[in-house]
Structure formats: C-alpha cells, structure tokens
Amino acid sequence: MWYTKINYEIGGIVKEMKVKSFKNLDEQIEILKEKGLIIEDVTETKEILLRENYFFISGYRHVLMNSYSDKTFVPASTFRELYSIFLFDRYFRNIMFKNLLIIENQLKSVISYQLSKNYGYMEKDYLNHKSFTNDPTKKRRVKDIIEKIKRQVRINASRHNATIHYLNKYGYIPMWVLVKVLSFGLVCELFSILKKEDQVAVADTFGVFVEYMNEFLPILSNYRNLCAHEDIVFDHKTEKYIDDNEYHRKLRINKMDGEYIYGKNDIFAVIIMLKYLLRKSEFRVMLKEIEYEIEKLDGRVDSIPIARVLDRMGFPENYMELVEM
C-alpha cells in the first residue's frame, strides 16, 4: 500500500488521514507490476521514471486500465505502451501550444492596434476607462481589469528589453509593446471589456462573430496554460462547453440525450475553435501533424485500440474531414 496513516488533532478531536509515502524506483515498478503492467526492461523503466517522474507518467495509466474502479491494467499492456501514451501527449501538446500561440499573438497585435488607433498610444489614453465599454454592468470589471494590467506591467516590465527601452527613453510604454508582457488570459479579459465596435473589428480579423470570440477565448486560455505548464492535455475536459455549431453537424457526431458526445468541452472542441480562428493553411498543417502522432501511437500500442484514445480526446473517427471543410 502506497499510503501512510497519520493522526492529527483539530479542536481537541483526533482524526486520521491517509498520505502518500515516498517510494523508490524499485517500489514504483512493483506497484505497476502488481496492477498487471508488463515491465519489459527494468533498467530502461527506472531511467524513464527518474527522468520523467512517476507521478506524471502514472497520470496516463487510466488509458490502459480495465476501469476506474478496477484500477488494473488490461491484459498484455506494457510500460513501453504507457510511456508511448505519455510521449504522444507531449508531442500533441507541443502542436497545440504553437498553434494557440498563433492565436495569442494575433489577438495581442490586433487589440493593441485597435486601441492605439482609436484612443492613443500612451497608457493614459489606452488604459483610460473611457476607452472601454460603458455598459454599467461591467463598470467594476473594467476598473479591475485595468488595475490588473497595470499590476502585471509593474511586475513584468523590467524583464523585457522593449519596455525598459521605452520607459527610459520616452517615459511611457506604447500599447503594441505593453501587450507583450501581458498573459494570454489577461488579454482575453481585455477583449471582454472592449467597446462593441472594437470587439467587432478584432473578431473580423479572425473571420468570426464577436459571440464566438467571447465563447472561445476563456477555453483557449485554459488550454494554453495547460500546454505552457506541461500538464495532461489530450483528455482534459473543461467546465465550459462550446455551443453546437456547423462542424458538429457536418462531421455527423453522434448524440446522447440530445447532446453531441464529442467536441463540446474536450480537446476536440479546441480543434473546432482553431478551425474557425486559424488560417486554412495553418489548420491543415496542424491537423496533419496531429494525424501523424495518432498514427505513430497506433503503431506502438497493441493492448488497446486507438479508438479508445480518440474517444478520450473527443475525436470522432472522421476528424480529418475537417481539413476539407
């Protein structure tokens, strides 16, 4: 058992708590073997566990397990297969990250251009509350986001040569430089408080309606952070769901209880969003790269069908049809 029981006291009441105890490499391997995983090469397995961290690799074990309750591996499943799934997520995550950065860069560029053009290029102009929505229900939000931007600039400005240059030489930071020190999440929040006409202008550069931008950006920000911090991405689910759209219908995605089973709050929903936001050539390259990684994984994992992995990702089997749509 990988747990140690400890007692602690709160308000005179003694309670018992289970905590995970340290296990060395041999013990980690034994845990995997006890659950039915085949270890082909102990030395190689130790090297991988030490290099990659048992905790992170074991985060992929559910893909090869019989069920969540059983917690034993399917027959003939191996550590190399488990590691292949881990590596697949790494390569897949890198593909997603570089394409999310394309969206991030374009969003920052277009917002900075729009604010500078309409309200001025100095902080006193583009960070003036009059430069944003006058919706009374968002008055507090506008103030809070402006303060968050100023705070993030104070923290990050000294780390960027361009901001240091403008502050030292001109005494201000133009918007097109400032956005570089802002997080994607904060820029997404910034979009939410733009005046309607500015939101429309930004959305037009992506070729979508403002409503899509407001729906997509919080979810894309969530996945962008997962990618940046090397978290598990391929089967991550978000609390937010995207609305039904043309691609759910065109791909003939199955429904359960009246709801599409794929492309709603899974990584395939992100693929659909990127279909809307990326240029056609960029999207084609991205999906081809994903297809390559899926096919590579299929050739390395024999104990389960690749359909199980696709299901966890929310990918319909005909996902490549998106390229021609």
Q: What are 275's two structure tokens?
A: 């279909």
Q: Residue 78 CB: number of other CB atoms within 10 A?
A: 20
Of residues 315 and 168, the one with the higher pLDDT is 315
174 vs 144, 160, 187, 234, CA distance in Å?
Answer: 20, 13, 15, 38
- What confidence score (pLDDT) does residue 127 get? 86
* Closest to 227 (Cα-Cα) out of 91, 96, 59: 96
- 296, pLDDT greater than 90: yes
- 55, pLDDT greater than 90: no
- What confidence score (pLDDT) does residue 143 get? 93
Instruction: Classify each residue of 252-291 as buried b or exposed e, where b means 16 or more C-beta atoms within 10 Å of its C-beta.
Output: ebeeeeeebebbbbbbbbbbbbbbbbbeeeebeebbebbe
- Domain residue spans of the chain: 23-87, 88-324
Q: How far apart are CA 48 and CA 63, in angstroms?
A: 19
Digit-coded pLDDT (tens) for 240-293: 999 999 999 999 999 999 899 999 999 999 999 999 999 999 999 999 999 999
Determine what percent of the chain is predicted with pLDDT higher than 70: 94
- 44, pLDDT greater than 50: yes
Kindly state the average pLDDT of the residues 153-158: 75
- What confidence score (pLDDT) does residue 4 get? 55
Give residue for tokens 């708590």: 17
The 8-class DSSP code of residue 78 comes to: B
- What confidence score (pLDDT) does residue 22 get? 80
